[in-house]
Amino acid sequence: MPTRVEKSDAEWKEVLTPEQYQVCRRKGTEPAFSGKYAFTKDPGVYVCACCGNPLFDSDTKYDSGSGWPSFYQPISPDAVTTAEDRSLWMTRTEVLCAACDAHLGHVFDDGPEPTGLRYCMNSVALELKPR
């Protein structure tokens, strides 16, 4: 389990860009096809933009056609947590950083093998650490 990172709302506002704050702390979403990692194929590890917790390996990234970076599994089972999201008049599964509870995106069950999952993430919530 990653080390917990706790900050006040004011502290998050000091260290995040306005867009990162809106997406990661207020559960916003960046527009499809606008994020810096939507089409990136560079090798490395994607970490949480808020706290640096390792989240996804580039080896599990694929082009889902959704306009957001998509992965078929997290880097480890305890890297992320999920919660029910009933916003926008539907039920979805929200994906959160297990260390700081940053909103990362959502997970859907229409992904490729071997997991059948599509972790649809916001680029602004991620930072790619190159290999």
Radius of gyration from C-alpha coordinates of the chain: 14
114 upstream amide cis, omega within 30 of 0 = yes
Collapsing DSSP states into helix, strand and coil, what is residue 50? Answer: coil
DSSP string, 4-27: P----HHHHHHHS-HHHIIIIIT-
120 assigned to active site: yes
Catalytic residue among 24, 48, 97, 120: 120
CA dihedral sign, ordered 126, 124, 94, 27: positive
Question: Would you name the residues annotated as active-site residues?
Answer: 120
